[in-house]
């Protein structure tokens, strides 16, 4: 028997489950750059270029090692435009008895693949996605019977399960979480290491030309394209992070600085999420640096929490709550996504910076995504479907399994608290504390009302007022609601009127 083994663009790993037990002489590895996957949302140009180049490099490495690879590039004469159509074509061309796939990362694909056996007329074997530390069943078992699914407690269970930073059942250093040490603003005289930068080889140059020509109406530009596109390059990014950034990662991971998009973050989510890096090798390399005395515990634990906590947890949460998660809108948010999310044409410097950097790099770090871009979307009551689409298409590391829970549940509180214990809403004071954005803004972060007031200030209290009935039973919001109850009525009314004027401007696309 011979099998067709389909490798998706975010499954670029030699150890991916669909390649296990492969017969190099008989089995065929199919990879395809299909229109339906590149355009179901208008992905950022750099995201498409990154994945197409990484796919082509991965396919070449397989061919060089004797794998029988059938690679269909975007303009191939036999490109059928969708994964299913491409698989049907491959089965017509070759004598194959089975299709082997790894569980995809998006519900829509999984749902479609579940029907393939009927339409293809051959056995379709879907293997567990083995690019995670724990299987989906681990999350499902943990979640059963729980009213609240808090990441912190899942994180601890995975720590115990893996033994990472655990000694005899107890956390390294005596605490499970060192987040309190990881919230420092960046000193103005602190130097940030340069981003890892890789020159485009012939394969990448061809892809860049393809994307510029074929996807010219997509968001973003290709000017700053410098992603790693091979496994060796991705390993180099990881090692450079450990050598140059890990020591300061924890302390400054929440900080935001003008014209410093990369900061002390690892920049490996692109490579973890597409398979070029393995989660175990990433964590173990960071732990090796810690035990060698090369990085402090707060940085190492903070990094491990992002991988074990958020990445593993978010993936489990996504599959546990889909497909209902996709339509959640607990706060009844219906406002359209403002035009400035595409153009960065806004007087609010924090948003201008984060959107510009997103456009230029297909990247923004987690606090920019959560507490600036996401915070505004929450306060303004932006429609979850539109916000989800924006986040999915603008970031090169975004796939629905990681994007949707972070946006719908963490950012927008659209699930009503299944993930977050409270809405992650904040006024301008938080952004001012963690960045230098406010110093160069047309608005004044100190002003609460009036035309010069930072919109985040009055939008925050307008948000609390709009949703006070839903929030009054939330124990974490009690102090905020009491504070609002003690505020001067005329001051509150002025803020609500400022918010109304702001929303009127948004509705007619007036610059704000």
HEC profile of 3-40: EEEECCCCCCCCCCHHHCCCCCCCCEEEEECCHHHHHC
Same domain membership, residue 180 and residue 258:
yes
- C-beta of residue 115 within 8 angstroms of C-beta of residue 101: no
pLDDT of residue 429: 97
Number of neighbours of residue 222 by Cβ within 10 angstroms: 19
> What CATH number is attached to the domain comprising 63?
3.40.50.620
> Rounded distance, CA 58 to CA 320, Å?
31
Shared domain for 433 and 452, answered yes or no, is yes
154 located within any domain: yes
Nearest-10 crossing angle of helices 297-304, 279-291: 170
Select from 398, 476, 474 the least CA-distant residue to 44: 398
Distance CA 367, CA 424 (A): 11
What was the pLDDT predicted at 174?
Answer: 96
SS3 256: strand
Is residue 301 domain-shared with residue 386, that is, in the same domain?
no
Among the three residues 69, 94, 127, which one is the final residue of a domain in this structure? 127
| Residue 334 maps to a domain | no
Residue 377 within a domain: yes
Shared-domain flag, residues 44 and 165: no
What pLDDT, on the 0 to 100 scale, is given for residue 148? 87
44 within domain boundaries: yes
Q: Could you tell me which of 371, 373, 383 has the C-alpha nearest to residue 342?
A: 373
Residue 201 lies in a domain: no
Is residue 438 domain-resident? yes
Q: What is residue 335's three-state secondary structure?
A: strand
364 inside domain: yes
**pLDDT tens string 228-255:** 999 999 999 999 999 999 999 999 999 9
Per the structure, the count of domains in the chain is 3
Do residues 478 and 368 share a domain?
A: yes
Q: What is the sign of the dihedral through the CA atoms of 38, 41, 44 and 47?
A: negative
Domain end marker among 109, 127, 145: 127
Would you say 98 and 1 are in contact if contact means Cβ atoms under 8 Å apart? Answer: yes
Q: Which helix (H) or strand (E) holds 71?
A: strand 69-72
The vertex-274 CA angle with 413 and 95, nearest 5°, equals: 125
The pair of structure tokens assigned to 271 is: 């490579």
**Are residues 403 and 277 located together in one domain of the fold?**
no
Report the candidate in 435, 431, 433, 428 with the shortest Cα–Cα distance to residue 257: 435
Asked if 34 and 118 sit in the same domain, the reply is: yes
Residues 119, 145: one domain? no
Angstrom distance (rounded) from CA 505 to CA 512? 7
pLDDT in tens, 264-318: 999 999 999 999 999 999 999 999 999 999 999 999 999 999 998 899 999 999 9
Query: Does 368 share its domain with 299?
Result: no
Instruction: Report the alpha-carbon distance of residue 389 to residue 85 in Å, rounded.
Output: 25
| Separation between Cα atoms, residue 426 and residue 463, nearest integer Å | 10
Q: In what order do the strands lie in the sheet with 3-6?
A: 69-72, 28-32, 3-6, 98-102, 123-127
Identify the bridge partners of residue 256 per DSSP, sorted by sequence position.
Answer: 435
> Does 204 reside within a domain?
no
HEC letters along 367-392? HHHHHHHHHHHHHHCECHHHHHHHHH
Share of the chain above pLDDT 90, in %: 98
Q: What is the CATH number of the domain that holds 352?
A: 1.10.579.10
- Give how far Cα 44 sits from Cα of 64, 91, 107, 126, 358, Å: 30, 32, 21, 29, 9
Q: Is 73 helix (H, G, I), strand (E, B) or coil?
A: coil
Same-domain check for residues 189 and 275: yes
Residues 498, 356 share a domain = yes
Which residue range(s) make up the domain with 64? 3-127
Q: Which of the listed residues 127, 160, 179 is the one where a domain comes to its end?
A: 127
* Strands of 103-196, DSSP E: 123-127, 166-167, 170-171
For 191-206, the pLDDT digits (tens) are 999 999 999 999 999 9
CA neighbor of 255 nearest in space, from 436, 456, 443, 441:
436
Q: What is the DSSP letter of 94?
A: S
Low-confidence ranges of the chain (pLDDT < 50): none
Report the C-alpha gap between 128 and 110 in whole angstroms: 12
Whether 10 and 78 share a structural domain: yes
pTM of the predicted structure, to 2 decimals: 0.96
C-alpha to C-alpha distance for 29 and 22, rounded to whole angstroms: 9
User: pLDDT for 394-439, tens place per residue?
Assistant: 999 999 999 999 999 999 999 999 999 999 999 999 999 999 999 9
């Amino acid at each position: 028997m011979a099998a067709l083994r389909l490798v998706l663009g975010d499954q670029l790993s030699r150890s991916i489950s669909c390649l296990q037990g492969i017969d190099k002489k008989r089995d065929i590895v199919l990879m395809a750059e299909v229109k339906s996957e590149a355009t179901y949302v208008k992905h950022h140009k750099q995201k498409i270029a990154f994945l197409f180049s990484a796919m082509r490099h991965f396919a070449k490495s397989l061919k060089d090692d004797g794998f029988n690879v059938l690679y269909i590039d975007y303009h191939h004469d036999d490109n059928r435009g969708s994964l299913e159509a491409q698989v049907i074509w491959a089965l017509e061309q070759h004598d194959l008895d089975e299709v082997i796939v790894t569980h995809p990362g998006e519900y829509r694909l999984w749902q479609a693949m579940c029907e393939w056996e009927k339409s293809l007329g051959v056995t379709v074997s879907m293997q567990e996605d083995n690019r995670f530390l724990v299987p989906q069943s681990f999350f499902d078992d943990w979640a059963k019977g729980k009213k609240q699914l808090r990441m912190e407690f899942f994180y601890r269970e995975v720590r115990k399960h893996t033994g990472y930073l655990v000694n005899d059942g107890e956390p390294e250093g005596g605490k499970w979480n060192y987040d309190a040490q990881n919230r420092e603003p960046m000193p103005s005289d602190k130097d940030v290491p340069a981003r890892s930068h890789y020159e485009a080889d012939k394969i990448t140059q061809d892809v860049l030309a393809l994307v510029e020509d074929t996807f010219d109406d997509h968001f973003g530009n290709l000017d700053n394209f410098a992603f790693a596109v091979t496994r060796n390059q991705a390993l180099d990014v990881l090692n450079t992070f450990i050598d140059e950034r890990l020591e300061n990662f924890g302390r400054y991971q929440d900080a935001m600085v003008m014209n410093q998009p990369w900061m002390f973050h690892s920049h490996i989510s692109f490579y973890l999420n597409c398979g070029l890096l393995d989660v175990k090798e990433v964590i173990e390399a960071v732990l090796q640096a810690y035990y060698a005395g090369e990085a402090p515990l707060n940085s190492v634990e903070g990094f491990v929490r992002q991988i074990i906590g958020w990445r593993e947890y978010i993936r489990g949460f996504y599959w546990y709550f889909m497909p209902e998660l996709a339509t959640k809108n607990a706060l009844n948010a219906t406002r359209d996504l403002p035009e400035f999310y595409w153009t960065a044409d806004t007087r609010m410097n924090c948003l201008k910076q984060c959107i510009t950097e997103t456009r230029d790099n297909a990247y923004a770090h987690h606090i920019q995504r959560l507490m600036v871009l996401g915070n505004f979307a929450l306060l303004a009551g932006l429609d979850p479907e539109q916000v989800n689409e924006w986040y999915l298409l603008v970031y090169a590391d975004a796939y629905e399994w990681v994007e949707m829970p972070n946006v719908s549940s963490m950012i927008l509180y659209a699930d009503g608290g299944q993930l977050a214990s409270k809405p992650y809403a904040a006024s301008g004071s938080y952004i001012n504390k963690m960045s230098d954005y406010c110093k160069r803004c047309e608005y004044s972060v100190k002003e609460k009302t009036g035309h010069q007031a930072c919109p985040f200030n009055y939008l925050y209290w307008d948000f609390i007022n709009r949703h006070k009935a839903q929030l009054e039973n939330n124990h974490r919001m009690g102090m905020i609601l009491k504070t609002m109850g003690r505020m001067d009525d005329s001051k509150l009314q002025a803020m609500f009127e400022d918010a109304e004027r702001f929303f009127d401007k948004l509705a007619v696309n007036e610059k704000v």
